[in-house]
Amino acid sequence: MVSNSFEFPPRPSPFGWYMINQIVFFSSTGIGLVMFPWLIAVVLQASPQWVGTAQAMMMLPMLLFLLVGGAKADRSHLQRWMIRLYMLGVVPPAILCFLLATGNLTYLTAVLYAVSMSTIGAFLGPARDSLLTRVTQTDTDIGMQRAVGLATAGQFGAQFIGITLAGQADYFGGAALAALIALGYACCILAISQLPDHVAAPGGAGAPDGAAASTLSWRDRLREIGEGIQAAWDSDRIRPTITMVGLTGFLFMGAVMVFLPLMVRDVYQGGALQISLLFVFFFGGIGVSSTLLSQRPLEHQGRALMLAATIGAGAMACFFFAPPLWLFYAIVLVWGLSGGVSMSMSRTIVQRAAPEKLRARVLSVFLLAMMGTGPIGSLIYGFAINAFGLLNTALLPVILMAVVWPAMFFATDLWSLKAKGASY
The DSSP 8-state label assigned to residue 41 in this structure reads I
For residue 143, the model assigns a pLDDT of 64
3-state SS class at 305? helix
Each residue of 86-115: b (16+ CB within 10 Å) or e?
bebbbebbbebbebbeeeebeeeebbebbb
Taking only the tens of pLDDT, the chain with its 424 residues reads 445 544 445 566 777 888 888 899 999 988 988 888 888 888 888 888 888 888 788 878 877 887 788 778 777 788 888 999 999 999 999 999 999 999 898 999 999 999 999 999 889 988 888 788 777 766 555 666 677 777 877 777 788 788 888 877 777 788 999 999 999 999 999 988 887 766 666 654 444 444 444 455 667 777 877 888 888 888 888 899 999 988 888 888 888 888 998 899 889 988 778 888 888 898 888 878 877 876 676 778 888 889 988 999 999 999 999 999 999 999 999 999 998 888 888 888 887 888 877 877 888 788 788 776 777 888 888 888 888 889 999 999 999 999 999 999 998 888 888 766 544 4
Alpha carbons 284 and 153: distance in angstroms, whole number: 9
Helix, coil or strand: residue 25:
helix
> Using CA atoms, how far apart are residues 14 and 380, in angstroms rounded to an integer?
42
Count of alpha carbons within 13 angstroms of residue 382, beta-carbon side = 23
For residues 169 and 322, give the distance between their C-alpha atoms in angstroms, rounded to a whole number. Answer: 26
Q: 3-state class of 217 per DSSP?
A: coil
Q: How far is CA 323 from CA 265, 317, 328, 385, in A?
A: 14, 11, 6, 18
Look at residue 422 in the predicted model and tell me its pLDDT. Answer: 41
261: Cα within 13 Å, side-chain hemisphere: 34
Report yes or no: 275 and 165 within 8 Å, Cβ to Cβ.
no
CATH of domain 14-201+217-416: 1.20.1250.20
Using DSSP's 3-state secondary structure scheme, residue 370 falls into helix
Distance CA 53, CA 111 (A): 9
Q: Could you give the dihedral angle defined by the CA atoms of residues 336, 127, 147 and 133, in that order, rounded to the nearest 10 degrees?
A: 140
Tell me the DSSP string of 109-135. HHHHHHHHHHHHHHHHHHHHHHHHHHH
Looking at residue 333, its pLDDT comes to 94
Burial of 285 (0-12, 13-18, 19+ CB in 10 A): buried
Q: Tell me what pLDDT residue 98 has.
A: 94
pLDDT at 108: 93
Q: What's the pLDDT at 207? A: 41
Give 323-345 as a 3 state SS string.
CCHHHHHHHHHHHHHHHHHHHHH
